[in-house]
Amino acid sequence: MEDVAANSFQVRPAELSTASRNMGDCASELDRTRNDVALSLPSTVFGLLPEAAELAAALERCVQRSTTDLSDAMDLSANLGHGLASCAQNYTDLDTTHANRIGRVIEA
């Protein structure tokens, strides 16, 4: 069933399902990006500067902040995807229930 009419508005579960899959893909991509960003470098990569340890510590803080933000975005995307899938399924189930009830009334 492509369109569902409920309470005087029209719903398109197929589009909700597509959006759900897209959000799942987004969450996966954010996870891959987070894994790519999660790096740790020794202070020696900055050379033999007196500030090398400070630069490495600053990089570590930046990486930690970035991976935390990416994790949060990944979780939100995954949750939105699950919510959209649930919404689409609920509309489809409701429409099926109503169609069955109408069918029984027509047959009676």
Angle made by CA atoms 18, 26, 76, in degrees to the nearest 5: 100
Quick: pLDDT tens for 63-87.
999 999 999 999 999 999 999 999 9
Please state the domain extents for the chain. 4-107
Whole-model pTM: value is 0.76
What are the CA-CA distances from residue 107 to residues 15, 98, 100 (Å)?
A: 32, 14, 10
Quick: pLDDT tens for 7-20.
566 889 999 999 99
Indicate the pLDDT class of residue 51, thresholds 50, 70 and 90.
very high
Identify the pLDDT of residue 30. Answer: 97
Identify the pLDDT of residue 98. Answer: 86
